[in-house]
Chains A and B, each alone.
Chain A
Amino acid sequence: MSRPILEVRELTTKYITRFQEDIYAVDHVSLTVEEGKSLGIAGESGCGKSTLALSLMGYYFPPLHYSSGEIIIDGRNITGMDPDDVRRSILGKEVAYIPQAAMNALNPTQKVISFIEDVVRAHNPKASKQEIYELARDRFEMLGLPAEVLQKHPVELSGGMKQRTVIAVSVILGPKVLIADEPSSALDVTSQKMVIKMLRDMMESGFIKAMLFITHELPLLYNVTDDIMVMYAGQLVERAPAEKAVFDPLHPYSKGLMGSIIVPEEGLREHKLAAIPGTPPNLKNPPKGCRFAPRCRYVRPECTTLSVPLRRVEDERTYRCIIPEAELREIYAHEQQ
């Protein structure tokens, strides 16, 4: 077992609304990402995947607040650090975050290089222009972007190029962990492929030690990440190697998610898309017991009363359901016929 780069133990974070209500968007989530591995996070809108990404950086700003749990990045515990320290020594250096609309981060009145100067000087005020230019040029060349981009204004770049530029800038200080939150969902398929290739190259060359990739596009996760983690209503409901998560999901919710995959491949038109009925619960007062119970097809009376622990099956697999693995498989097999 190789060295864990990102370790999260029972992390809970909450939003405090203006009516002083607590909304637990990330609820006791534990995860480990080892060196050279990538983890994908899937789930519906509002299930807490983006909040998890924000929480993992250890930098909280209202209405998001830390509640409990630990975050350890490469052996260094960053929980409870002063927000200013986090910004100075963690963001960009240890963890880099790429939001969905990353390309909007570019200032339209500045050249890309002066944007990079700002980023580098925020961490190292004494860096000279020449140093920064050389660093940026090397980094861009390494990532397969032409160095001319540095001297251009954002309007001269295409959407895909802007997105790749921002990704390159976000890793300019050599972070260990990269958190990509829907980095390609605003792009068309060709630019999406370029972004994915860039992320994969960064992982393969060992430049980034661990990656978290958040999206609701399951075919994409399947192709990009080693493991897939499914979230529902702020909780982790299943984690499995990508292959198993897509073709052999255990949790009824993951099963439903995988049923909504659309790919342009033969045989798609024959199988009917299985939409999950109902809507996710309001996190202000989540259902007791299993949070998925109101929408679950296999719901049992005890589902709504007992709290459901994570079950561990095989080595790398966990899921959160009261039905044991063998029984679940039996139900699924029966349904297939």
Chain B
Amino acid sequence: MNNNKQEIYLSARNVTKIFGMGNTRTVAVDDVNLNLRKGEVISIVGESGSGKTTLAKILLGLINETEGEIYFQGEKRKIRTQGQKREYWRNIQAIFQDPFSSFNIFNKIDSVLLDCINMRGGRRLPKAEKVAMMTEACSFVNLKFEELTNKYPFELSGGQQQRLMIARVFLLKPKILVADEPTSMIDACSRATILDMLMQLRDEEGMTVIFITHDIGLAYYVSDNVYIMEHGRFVEGGPAEDVIIHPQHDYTKRLLNDVPKIYEEWDLSTV
């Protein structure tokens, strides 16, 4: 896999995360290796408790790894100080599962978006230009900026909030986006819209996306490479076509077997 000449943006080497000690010692992420190339979409698939969100948080720099290293653009990642963290987060951003708790409830929507512009160094831009940028971001996600000013995030529906989250990402233009179950709290029709927008970000902005999901069908649909995670370990990984259509590992086979299908018979006898 490493003979690919494309630039490796982010790589995790032997990353391990252990919570607690003694009796409560839990290995959440166990010796994980991961390489992420520019413009690639990878999915990390696992059941609840498999450690996929912990891994995402480590990659985001929200929690520290117990062992192993994270390399960012070829160099070892340094996020000791607040300044270093802020610099790192210019490059990597996240969308979380629960849109309802992703926003500061005291901030109005335009100030949420304004913060993003300021973070990108647009603090001194004229107001009209800022408004134009916010309008563009909102129209990217099919929201109307005029209707959103003076509203608070809780006045929007879940799907709209999730789209607003994507508008933030559109303004921030990070190099890497970590999407942690971005569609599991919204219904199937809005899901297609959200996925389309993420794909558009990849195609137009060249964004690299790490998609974290328990939905193996979703992973197959969006990603170039899929990694299957069980008890903190990657049990299988590779191009989506290989992993999902021709699974090798028993765990992957079991997961696939448990998903309801429409073209094949869904075997209920094997529970």
Contact = CB atoms under 8 A, between A and B. Distances in A.
Interface in A274-296: 274-277, 279
A260 B192 contact: yes
Interface in B195-229: 195-196, 214-221
Contacts of B186: 45
A274 B217 CA distance: 16
B157 interface: yes
Secondary structure call for the A interface? loop
A266 B261 CA distance: 11
3 A-B pairs with the lowest CB-CB distances in the bound complex, closest first = A275-B192, A189-B258, A273-B192
Interface stretch (A87-95, A131-139, A193-201): A193-201
Interface of A: 44-46, 159, 188-190, 192-194, 196-197, 200, 216-220, 222-223, 246, 256-257, 259-269, 273-277, 279
Nearest to A266: B245
B156 to A, nearest CB: 11
B221 to A, nearest CB: 5
Contact of A45 (B187, B218, B258): B187
A194 B271 contact: yes
Contacts of A269: 220-221, 240-241
Given A189-B255, A276-B189, 4 more contacts: A45-B190, A190-B258, A219-B217, A273-B196
Contacts, number: 116
Interface string B147-171: 0000000000111100000000000
B268 A263 contact: no
A190 B214 CA distance: 11
A263 B258 contact: no
A175 to B, nearest CB: 23
Interface in B99-132: none
B135 interface: no
Nearest to A278: B142
Nearest to A247: B262
Contact of A193 (B196, B221, B263, B268): B268
Q: A261, A262, A273, A276 — which one has the most chain B CB atoms within 10 A of its CB? A: A262
Contacts of A279: 157, 159-160
B201 to A, nearest CB: 15
A11 B158 CA distance: 28
B55 interface: no
Given A45-B159, A264-B244, A269-B240, A189 B187 contact: no
Contact of A264 (B159, B160, B188, B220): B220
A260 B263 contact: no
Contacts of A200: 268
A268 B220 contact: yes
Contacts of B241: 269
B244 A44 contact: no
